[in-house]
Structure 1
Amino acid sequence: MATAPSKSRPLSPHLGIYKWGPHMLVSILHRATGDGMALIGTVLTIWWLAAAAGGEASYNAFIDLFTLDSGAFNVVGYIVGIGLTLSFFQHLASGIRHFVLDTGAGYELKTNKSWAIVTIVFSILATAAFWAFLIWGK
């Protein structure tokens, strides 16, 4: 017959008992940005191909969503573009961090936390620099 577990018995690890830190956030963001870029990239590629096959009017409608037109800009196109750029740089930085971890380095708690914060800061700064160059660099 089964008995009730002892109160002194340790709990198995789960999200409810872990203290959240930047290393956990970066790990989840790595997966989310990879999946997001694959999904959005696939949808945009299929949409672009369909617009190109649909003729000049449909292709121009697609292009107008993502380009400057006489000084005006489309907010949706910028949100998608900036979001994909931020996802790319976050995934890149996190991938490099994971590569370093795969060599056996960086597992010390302070080092791991610092590198996780660096990946987030780098992705934001790189995205800002990239878009500043696209907008004002010409």
Structure 2
Amino acid sequence: MPDVNRGNRPLSPFMIGQYYRPQLTSVTSILTRITGNALLIGALMVIWWLLAAATSEEYFRTANAVLTSGFGDLVLFGSLWALWYHTLAGIRHLVWDNAQMLELERAEKLGWGVVFGSVILTIVTVIII
């Protein structure tokens, strides 16, 4: 049966705000996917640095200058946060896979734990290193 109301419904980008309020669990889930992909950037920079070290001294100086610059520090700091966030979110999903903490209130607490935990662990890691 054809959908006769197809033209009267809002399209999905327009759902946010007027028709749909993003929830913490959905935002943290989307952020988990984003951080997983963003970790590739930091990993590629470290691989480039290691390959440069194995190639030549001049090439290593170039790669090392990029990695130790302000931009490199920012990317590596962001990658460190993404690593902690992605790890904690993965643990959260393991908890959910065991059918634990699925109630809305507890799931939101777990989401905030992932957000604040990743920030705290990133700061602690930077202080230690």
Match of 2:115 in 1: 120
TM-score, length-normalised on structure 1?
0.75
Match of 1:52 in 2: 53
What do you get for the CA RMSD once the two structures are aligned? 2.5
Whole-Å Cα distance in 2 between the matches of residues 27 and 2 of structure 1? 33
Higher gyration radius (CA) = 1
Give identity over the alignment, percent: 25
Structure 1 consecutive aligned stretches of length 4 or more whose deviation exceeds 4 Å? none
Measured against aligned partners, the alpha-carbon deviations of 1:74-128 in whole angstroms (never above 9, x if no partner) come to 2112101100000000000100000000001111010111100110000111111
Whole-Å Cα distance in 2 between the matches of residues 21 and 108 of structure 1? 14
TM-score, length-normalised on structure 2?
0.79
Pairs aligned (count): 121
Q: Which amino acid in 1 is paired with 2:52?
A: A
In structure 2, stretches of 5+ residues that fail to align are none
In structure 1, stretches of 5+ residues that fail to align are 6-10, 68-73
Whole-Å Cα distance in 2 between the matches of residues 19 and 116 of structure 1? 16
Which of 119, 123, 126 matches 1:131?
Answer: 126
- Greater helix share, structure number: 2
Match of 1:83 in 2: 78
Measured against aligned partners, the alpha-carbon deviations of 1:26-85 in whole angstroms (never above 9, x if no partner) come to 10111111111134413541x225423541011122223334xxxxxx211210110000
